[in-house]
Amino acid sequence: MEVLWFAPRQLGASASSRQTWWCTARAESQISTTSILPLPGVQADKRGVKVSEFLQSVSNPAVYAAGDAANIGMPKLTPVAAYGGGIVAANLLKGNHRKVENVPVPTVAFTVPPLAAVGMNEDSATKQGLRFRVHQEDTANWYSSKRVAEDCSGFKVLIDEGN
């Protein structure tokens, strides 16, 4: 595959191709609740373009979205954008065959102390009616905390009783 780039000042240039992709991006605030101009019929909400599991617009099959522009119910983070980008590229090249999977995405807030999480939290697990037990511990006395003079640290793990 050969990729041709056209800068705005080359607007008069032409080339032939088997497939033409128009790649653009929009900030969330610019995504209207009904459509993304000038693409007709692209449904979106404030979380982004509404897409299928193939990351294809649910209302305009010529449009795919990944990263911050797509509403896939995952956090808007760089690794999630890269993950979606690979799926979109694969589906554009070989037809819809790669689906987005609901993989757990770790998140970290680099505060003092830092806060990190992965998977479902206790509130969501309770709301979903899951049977689980909680294992939590204060780790302020652990070497890893004392080493950095951190007097406030701990963890909580939810263990699914069903598996």
Ligand X SMILES: Cc1cc2nc3c(=O)[nH]c(=O)nc-3n(C[C@H](O)[C@H](O)[C@H](O)COP(=O)(O)OP(=O)(O)OC[C@H]3O[C@@H](n4cnc5c(N)ncnc54)[C@H](O)[C@@H]3O)c2cc1C
* Binding footprint of ligand X on the chain (CB under 6 A): 24-26, 67-69, 76-79, 81
* Complex with ligand X: residue 88 or 158, whichever CB lies closer: 88
At closest approach, how far in Å is the CB of 126 from ligand X? Answer: 28
* Complex with ligand X: residue 51 or 158, whichever CB lies closer: 51
* Complex with ligand X: residue 80 or 158, whichever CB lies closer: 80
At closest approach, how far in Å is the CB of 155 from ligand X? Answer: 21
Residue nearest to ligand X (CB): 67
DSSP 30-76: GS-SS-BTTBTT--EETTEEEB-TTSBBSS-TT-B--GGGEESSS--
Over the range 68-91, which residues count as b (16 or more CB within 10 Å of their CB) and which as e? Answer: bbbbbebeeeeebeebbeebbeeb
